[in-house]
């Protein structure tokens, strides 16, 4: 019931968001380290992203209590980007030019990241993208802490094919995340000797799925890969369950991000398998301690997802890099990154930044949604590195193409 009557939490976060933004405009203090936070606190993606902002607040609180970064307190400058790509561009300009932040934590959807990335490049800023995504961004101005396809799909898809069979049907959101993720699924399925029996791209905002459900039933799929994004598309699960589509599902986005298993009535998500680097059900001492202190500070938080953990880890990685560099200067931070041992023992275990791609290694958990929507973990892959970009030729210690690559469009050979 706490999500329904979340009056206090909602008002509080609204009030504090305004306070932070106002505070930033008023105080021009060189003694603080300013961190811009651009996340969707309202709009289509809010359910998955409010928690990221709270994770950053938690980390900032902890860092400040422990004496700040190198003795300097952290100050957050938070803007609500409203799930709107134009807001990302507007606020990214504002934090970099007007608020003069030292680093930005920004973005949920890949469309929003691609909307703000040119602006970060233009002003030579530094941005953390703390989201799982379709991979391929080779850009020295970006540090990515979310999981990528070689971590999520190269574990998930072969495991699913072995357990359920080689025929795969993909339904994906029709924009860069869904398109590129689907390409990854296609590649891995073919590599493993399976076949794609269907692939369908759904425009964002579509909420009625009868025809899609019928297409899936007419194919002889062994399992369905769902790469649906946003609140409207999540209606698929309820509709598929009520049409009795009795197929296992595999996903890189659900559960770990939008906690659909908590929001939907069982058993609409039953038999879904998700590879994620963190969700609150992970039962390790580190995870339990994280959940406990999170809930202490934000008792009304509906769910602590992988993005929350990644944002929390990112804050601590940034602290470490600034302290080792002795400055917030980007070149100095990149020099620290290039040493290759920027690691943090956080809620999801040990994670390290890869200097070539500036992506992060992860322990990957295979989460299964049971009939009663509880979570079990049939498999854990330790320390999966973000190998693809580096193998394909992206090396940010050498050059900076500021581009996004895909399996069908890899970096140029050098």
Q: Please report whether residue 242 would count as binding another protein according to CB under 8 A.
A: yes
Residue of the chain from 201, 377, 381, 387 that contacts another protein (CB under 8 A): 201
For residue 182, the minimal CB distance to another protein (Å) is: 13
Q: Which stretch binds another protein (CB under 8 A): 240-248, 307-315, 320-328, 364-372?
A: 240-248
Rounded CA-CA distance 274/263 in Å is 16
Strands of the sheet containing 223-227, edge to edge, are 195-202, 167-173, 223-227, 249-251, 272-276, 362-369, 375-384
Q: Please report whether residue 247 would count as binding another protein according to CB under 8 A.
A: no
Per-residue x/- mask for another protein, residues 19 to 58, rule CB under 8 A? -----------------------xxx-xx--x--------
Which DSSP string do the residues of 64-110 spell out, in sequence order? HHTT-BTTBPEEEEEEE-TT-HHHHHHHHHIIIIIS--SEEEE-SSH
- Contact between residue 78 and residue 52 where contact means Cβ atoms under 8 Å apart: no
Q: Between residues 265 and 408, which has the closer beta carbon with respect to another protein?
A: 265
For residue 170, the minimal CB distance to another protein (Å) is: 13
CA-angle at 197, arms to 161 and 162, nearest 5°: 5
Rounded CA-CA distance 92/76 in Å is 14
Q: Please report whether residue 6 would count as binding another protein according to CB under 8 A.
A: yes
Q: Which stretch binds another protein (CB under 8 A): 100-108, 207-215, 354-362, 398-406?
A: 207-215
For residue 3, the minimal CB distance to another protein (Å) is: 5
Stretch 301-340 residues interacting with another protein (CB under 8 A): 302
Q: Please report whether residue 269 would count as binding another protein according to CB under 8 A.
A: no
* Helix, strand or coil, per DSSP, at residue 363: strand
CA 332 to chain centre: 26
Would you say how long the chain is, in residues? 414
Rounded CA-CA distance 267/367 in Å is 16
Q: Please report whether residue 179 would count as binding another protein according to CB under 8 A.
A: no
Residue of the chain from 66, 244, 413, 414 that contacts another protein (CB under 8 A): 244
Q: Which stretch binds another protein (CB under 8 A): 6-14, 147-155, 286-294, 384-392?
A: 6-14
* Helix, strand or coil, per DSSP, at residue 165: coil
Q: Please report whether residue 18 would count as binding another protein according to CB under 8 A.
A: no
Question: What are the φ and ψ backbone dihedral angles of 311, each rounded to 5 degrees?
Answer: -65, -40
Q: Please report whether residue 9 would count as binding another protein according to CB under 8 A.
A: yes
- Contact between residue 47 and residue 231 where contact means Cβ atoms under 8 Å apart: yes
Q: Please report whether residue 212 would count as binding another protein according to CB under 8 A.
A: yes
For residue 47, the minimal CB distance to another protein (Å) is: 4
Chain contacts with another protein (rule: CB under 8 A): 3-7, 9-11, 14, 42-44, 46-47, 50, 174, 200-203, 205-208, 210-214, 217-218, 231-232, 234-235, 238-239, 241-246, 262-266, 268, 302
């Amino acid at each position: 019931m706490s999500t329904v009557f979340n009056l206090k939490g909602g008002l509080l976060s609204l009030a504090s968001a305004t306070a932070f933004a106002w505070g930033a405009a008023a105080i021009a203090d060189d003694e603080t380290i300013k961190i811009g936070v651009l996340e969707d606190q309202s709009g289509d993606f809010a359910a998955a992203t409010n928690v990221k902002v709270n994770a950053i607040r938690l980390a900032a609180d902890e860092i400040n209590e422990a004496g700040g970064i190198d003795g300097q307190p952290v100050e957050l400058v938070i803007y609500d980007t409203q799930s709107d790509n134009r807001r990302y561009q507007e606020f990214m300009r504002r934090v970099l030019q007007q608020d003069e932040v030292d680093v930005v934590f920004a973005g949920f959807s890949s469309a929003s990241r691609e909307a703000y990335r040119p602006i970060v490049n233009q002003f030579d800023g530094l941005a953390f993208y703390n989201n799982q995504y379709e991979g391929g961004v080779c850009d020295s101005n970006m540090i990515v802490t979310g999981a990528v396809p070689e971590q999520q799909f190269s574990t998930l898809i072969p495991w699913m094919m072995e357990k359920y069979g080689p025929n795969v049907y993909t339904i994906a959101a029709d924009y860069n995340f869904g398109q590129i993720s689907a390409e990854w699924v296609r590649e891995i399925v073919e590599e493993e000797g399976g076949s794609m029996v269907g692939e369908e791209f759904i425009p964002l905002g579509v909420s009625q799925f009868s025809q899609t459900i019928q297409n899936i039933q007419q194919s002889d799929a062994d399992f369905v890969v769902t790469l649906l994004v946003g609140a409207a598309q999540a209606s698929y699960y309820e509709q598929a369950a009520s049409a009795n589509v009795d197929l296992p599902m595999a996903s890189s986005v659900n559960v770990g991000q939008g906690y659909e298993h908590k929001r939907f009535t069982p058993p609409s998500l039953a038999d879904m398998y998700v590879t994620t680097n963190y969700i609150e059900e992970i039962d390790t001492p580190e995870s339990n301690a994280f959940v406990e202190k999170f809930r202490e500070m934000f008792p009304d938080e509906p769910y602590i997802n992988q993005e929350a953990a990644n944002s929390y880890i990112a804050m601590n990685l940034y602290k470490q890099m600034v302290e080792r560099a002795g400055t917030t200067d980007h070149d100095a931070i990149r020099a620290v990154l290039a040493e290759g041992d920027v690691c943090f023992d956080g809620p999801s275990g040990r994670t390290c930044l890869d200097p070539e791609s500036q992506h992060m290694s992860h322990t990957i958990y295979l989460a299964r949604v049971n009939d009663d929507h509880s979570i079990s973990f049939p498999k854990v892959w330790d320390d999966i590195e973000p190998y693809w970009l580096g193998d394909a030729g992206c090396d940010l210690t050498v050059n900076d193409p500021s581009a996004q690559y895909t399996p069908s469009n890899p970096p140029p050979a050098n």
